[in-house]
Structures are given as structure tokens and as C-alpha cells.
Amino acid sequence: MSTVDKMLIKGIRSFDPENKYVITFFKPLTLIVGPNGAGKTTIIECLKVACTGELPPNARSGHSFIHDPKVAGETETKGQIKLRFKTAARKDVVCIRSFQLTQKATKMEYKAIESVLQTINPQTGEVDLDFVDSAGALLLITWFMGSNWCCRDHLISGLSDFVFLVEFFENRMPGPAGMKYCLSLGVDHTKEGNRRHESFQ
Ligand SMILES: Nc1ncnc2c1ncn2[C@@H]1O[C@H](COP(=O)(O)OP(=O)(O)OP(=O)(O)O)[C@@H](O)[C@H]1O
């Protein structure tokens, strides 16, 4: 099976274009938790965009997917998603998708400016695209204030995933060890607020 290793996001939705936010996925499962507005849905959207090239349905043709230049105090924002994954044949591949949103005189202009796949070892030139199910055991969890767990968005659909998730928590959760499955998000994606500045490669 293919696996997702890391994803870099910058300049997408609330993720600051000046900073690189790198998410490292855990095995066998990554849970993404955080308060409303922290960016959980954006992470899932970025996974989907990186994998398929399709923008989310609410992206207003890309205009609302890229970080709003007005929020950044600029006339142009560049957004980028880089996804590093291992193919079923255990080849490391990086998918890079870059975008641009520019404030013109009367309207915003959205452009997808780059969409490439790179192998980590360019000598082989081999790219395995057996990638569709690479989300594997990634589930998005929204932890609502009342501390109810709610499986609201996730890439691998179906009730069985949710049942699995409940079992997972019942049997294995808490204790500090449980945290290795858990990626916790804050709401502040600025340089100061971003505690996950890791190198991507
Ligand atoms: N184009 C944009 N530019 C800047 N910020 C944006 C843009 N689009 C959305 N946002 C901000 O991104 C945040 C939403 O992020 P997201 O939906 O990923 O969070 P979430 O953790 O899934 O929240 P919830 O639990 O409420 O679903 C909101 O604060 C919203 O204002």
C-alpha cells in the first residue's frame, strides 16, 4: 500500500503564505484535532487537491482556497502544497502544486501555476502513480468543545472506518503514548504560532 509521509502547506486558506507548515503523518493512524478554525478541513482539502488536482467544491474556482491577499496585506498570494509519499513499490515521490491569487483592478485572478511529480531519486526517473488509496488510515477528527468525538470529515468513507475509530479510542487511547497518533493543531498559523516548522525533505 502507498503511504503519505509529509505534507507542506503554505498560503492556503488560513495557512500563512510566509511560513511553511509541515505535517508529518503517523503510522498506522493520524488523528487531526484542534478547535474550530484551526485548519483541520484545510489539511484534508490539501491532501485531496495534491492527490487529485481537484479544488474543493466551496473554493469559488480557487479564489477562496488560496490565502486571501487582503488578509496578508498584499496584492498577491502564492499558495503551495507539497505532498511526500511512498508508492506501493516504496519509491519516494513528491507532488508539488502551486497557485497564485492576484488582486487586479476590479477582480481577483486565480491561477494554478505548477503541478509536478518528482521522484526523490531523479536518476531512476520512475514514478509510480498507484496513489489513489494512499490516504490509508488517515482520518480527520473534529473535537468539539463538549469533548464529544465526531468523525466529521474523512477521506476513506464508510461506517466501518468510524467503528474502527471508536474501537481504536476505546482500546488504545490516552496515556501519552496515544499522542503519537495525534496531530494537534493550534489556530495560529503565523510564524510565532506555528510550532511545527520542520524541514520538508
Ligand atoms: N481564503 C482564505 N484566506 C484566509 N483565511 C481563510 C480562507 N478561507 C478560509 N479561511 C479561514 O480558515 C479557517 C477555516 O479553516 P478550516 O475549515 O480548515 O478549520 P477547521 O479546523 O476544519 O474548523 P471547523 O472545526 O470549524 O470545521 C477559518 O478561520 C477561515 O476564516
Of 134, 121, 139, residue with least CA distance to 43: 139
- pLDDT value of residue 103: 95
Gap from CA of 161 to ligand 1 centroid (Å): 25
What tens digit of pLDDT does each residue of 129-152 get?
A: 433 333 333 333 333 222 233 334
123: left (phi over 0), alpha (psi -120 to 50) or beta: alpha
Task: Write out the DSSP string of 138-163.
Answer: EEEEEE-TT--EEEEEESS-SHHHHH
Measured in residues, the chain has a length of 201
Answer yes or no: is the C-beta of 41 below 6 A from any ligand 1 atom.
yes
What tens digit of pLDDT does each residue of 109-121 get?
A: 999 998 888 876 6
- pLDDT value of residue 65: 97
Gap from CA of 14 to ligand 1 centroid (Å): 6
Answer yes or no: is the C-beta of 189 below 6 A from any ligand 1 atom.
no
- pLDDT value of residue 35: 86
pTM for this structure? 0.73
Gap from CA of 125 to ligand 1 centroid (Å): 37
Answer yes or no: is the C-beta of 34 below 6 A from any ligand 1 atom.
yes
Answer yes or no: is the C-beta of 184 below 6 A from any ligand 1 atom.
no
Question: How many other C-beta atoms are found inside a 10 Å radius of the C-beta of residue 17?
Answer: 21
Cβ–Cβ < 8 Å for 21, 8: yes
Q: What is the CA radius of gyration of the chain?
A: 17
Of 128 and 44, which is predicted with more confidence? 44
Gap from CA of 65 to ligand 1 centroid (Å): 10
What tens digit of pLDDT does each residue of 25-79 get?
A: 887 778 888 888 888 899 989 988 988 888 999 999 999 999 999 998 999 999 9
Gap from CA of 12 to ligand 1 centroid (Å): 10
Mean per-residue pLDDT for 173-182?
Answer: 43
Residue bearing the CA closest to ligand 1, atom 13: 37
Answer yes or no: is the C-beta of 36 below 6 A from any ligand 1 atom.
yes
CA 95 distance to own-chain centroid: 12
CA 97, CA 136: separation in Å to the nearest integer?
A: 21
Answer yes or no: is the C-beta of 86 below 6 A from any ligand 1 atom.
no
Report the complex ipTM.
0.98
